Amino acid sequence: MGNSRTGFLRSSHLADRVAQRLLGVEADGGALDPAGALDVDPIVAVDHHLGDLGPGRRAPPPVPELPSPHLPQWSEANSELLKPVYDEWRRGNFDLGFELYADDWEWGWSDEFPDLGGVKPDPSPERLRDWLSPWERWQVEPEEFIASRDFVVVLCRYTGRGKGSGVDVETHGAHVWTIRDGKALRLEVFSSRAKALTAAGLDPDDAEG
């Protein structure tokens, strides 16, 4: 029992020294000479000195580094892909097809709009043209692009004028895009920004309305 405890203390001390050298600091907080940094796998080094703990006793494996939910390479690239689309939509031009769209892409409205048919494959613009037909003018202004993994949530401001009434309207909403390998696979239109962010696995508190 005494030998095991002594071995454990010696091994714990080594683990502390490994951690200190990897972090470049001494236990008292002072800087460590870079020449003293370890050039070995710390887990191998610690495990080599754990024989006193008995067979089968190993140092715990290193904790894997989890990817951030907001990765710059995805956030920037996917958001940039969408900007030419919104450049046209802010002008009220919804007639253009974009190379961004995958051949089997699907789009539509969230379940907040039960009468609009939901999200489904639709390579033609007819369904959108039907929806736009009551409007003399309809424009979509992106206010913010929020990217996470394969999703980009675009917080939007809509402005329009009814054909028959001539009434001007302004409202807010959000679009949730799924983009993979440089192609848009899916677009879902939301009224609630909080619901859109939740659908993309983001914090709904990021929404203003």
Distance CA 89, CA 143 (A): 13
Q: State the CB neighbour count (10 A cutoff) for residue 173.
A: 21
| pLDDT given at position 96 | 75
| pLDDT given at position 31 | 46
Domain ranges of the chain: 2-53, 72-206
CB 46 within 8 A of CB 17: no
12-21 — which CB contacts under 8 Å span 24+ positions? 14/45, 14/46, 14/49, 15/46, 15/59, 18/42, 18/45, 18/46
Nearest CA to 128 among 157, 107, 153, 111?
107
| pLDDT given at position 76 | 78
Fold of 72-206: Nuclear Transport Factor 2; Chain: A, (3.10.450)
Distance CA 171, CA 191 (A): 9
DSSP state of 4: H
User: pTM (2 decimals)?
Assistant: 0.64
Report phi then psi at 82, rounded to 5.
-85, -20
| pLDDT given at position 1 | 47
Residues of the chain with pLDDT under 50: 1-53, 59-73
Going from the C-alpha of 187 to that of each of 153, 174, 190, 197, the distances in angstroms are 10, 10, 10, 13
